[in-house]
Amino acid sequence: MKTFRYSRAVMAALIGVAMSGSITIAHADIKDYAFQLVDQTIKAGPDKTITVRLLDMKTGKPVPDAVIFATRLDMAPDGMQEMATRITSMPGAEPGTYKFKATFSMAGRWQLSLGAKVQGETGTVESKLVVTAQK
């Protein structure tokens, strides 16, 4: 019954792989977080507010208290990466959402690059979001 024993050993190994696999999946990973735009479009002009939500993609829940340390807003999606505008963080967003103020000097697609640190996680959340400014 050598074959039988062998297949049991294989089965045990497979169960082991499956179990360690599920442990890896259960552990939170920085890749499981992502920013989403609350509104995809915005009106072109000065001092417009962009609101983004930081989500834990596993639970679908918003993530509060992230530290956002890198932002850039430029027209790369419309071939104008050199056309950047200043972006500043704004207080007063609901938990899990983050607000920024920027001037959209031109209608078209603007790329918002965000970096963030999430409490209790190593690594950096990096997202590039495209917001469309309309006339």
HSE-CB at 15 with a 13 A cutoff on CA atoms is 6
Site string for Cu ion, 31-60 (x = CB under 5 A): ------------------------------
The residue behind tokens 């089965």 is: 11
Alpha carbon separation from 50 to 33, 84, 109, 119, 121 (Å, rounded): 19, 15, 13, 23, 25
What is the Cα–Cα distance from 49 to 129, expressed in whole angstroms? 15
Q: Which stretch binds Cu ion (CB under 5 A): 7-15, 76-84, 88-96, 125-133?
A: 76-84
- Regarding 80 and contact with Cu ion (CB under 5 A), the answer is yes
Least distance to Cu ion, CB of residue 74, Å: 9
Show contacts with Cu ion in window 87-126 (CB under 5 A).
106
- Regarding 84 and contact with Cu ion (CB under 5 A), the answer is no
One-letter amino acid of 62: P
Contacts with Cu ion by CB under 5 A lie at 75, 80, 83, 106
